[in-house]
């Protein structure tokens, strides 16, 4: 029983360390920026708040009002890659990302006609790592 417990605890710590290494790599990667998912809409449409002062302000909007709720968001952008944006990120979760310009969208990308409101400024967002927040 003690051996089983020792193995379980060791595996738990190893898995925790791997996740921390991924996040640390994202933090030290100068092309990755910190952001937070502030709004997830239908068809994987999302609004990301930029939490990193290094990002060029041309990539996001200083303020944007969601006309459907009346809520005003600051330093936000929409995601242009709703077909490849990770569905497991939750509203309020912080993560690291880079701006990517794909050469093409996936062939199996459905053209959703019912997108939620997002800022006019949209970027192709590639995830570098996510935090547990």
Residue 121, domain extent = 2-130
SS3 assignment, position 73: strand
The neighbouring-strand residues paired with 48 are 37, 77
pTM: 0.73
Residue 50 and residue 99: Cα distance in Å, rounded? 12
**Length of the chain, please?**
133
> pLDDT tens digits for 55-88?
999 999 999 999 999 999 999 999 998 888 898 9
Q: What confidence score (pLDDT) does residue 60 get? A: 98
> Which band of pLDDT confidence, cut at 50, 70 and 90, is reported for residue 42?
confident
Residue 36 and residue 98: Cα distance in Å, rounded? 13
Q: What confidence score (pLDDT) does residue 105 get? A: 62
Residue 95 and residue 41: Cα distance in Å, rounded? 18
Q: What confidence score (pLDDT) does residue 54 get? A: 95
Query: Please, which residues have CB within 8 angstroms of residue 94's CB and are 6 or more apart in sequence?
Result: 34, 35, 36, 51, 130, 131, 133
What DSSP designation does 55 have? S
Q: What confidence score (pLDDT) does residue 103 get? A: 62
Q: What is the tally of structural domains in the chain?
A: 1
> pLDDT tens digits for 6-28?
333 343 333 344 443 344 444 44
Q: What confidence score (pLDDT) does residue 108 get? A: 72
Residue 34 and residue 131: Cα distance in Å, rounded? 10
Residue 61 and residue 38: Cα distance in Å, rounded? 14
> pLDDT tens digits for 93-113?
999 999 988 766 666 777 677
């Amino acid at each position: 029983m003690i051996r089983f417990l020792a193995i379980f605890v060791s595996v738990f710590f190893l898995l925790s360390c791997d996740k921390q290494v991924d996040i640390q790599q994202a933090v030290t990667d100068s092309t990755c920026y910190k952001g937070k998912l502030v709004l997830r809409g239908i068809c994987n449409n999302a609004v990301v708040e930029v939490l990193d002062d290094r990002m060029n302000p041309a990539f996001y909007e200083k303020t944007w009002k969601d006309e459907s709720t009346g809520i005003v968001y600051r330093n936000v952008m929409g995601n242009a890659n709703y077909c490849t944006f990770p569905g497991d990120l939750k509203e309020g979760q912080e993560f690291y990302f880079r701006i990517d310009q794909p050469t093409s969208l996936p062939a199996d990308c459905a053209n959703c006609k019912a997108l939620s409101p997002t800022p006019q400024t949209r970027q192709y967002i590639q995830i570098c790592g996510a935090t547990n927040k």
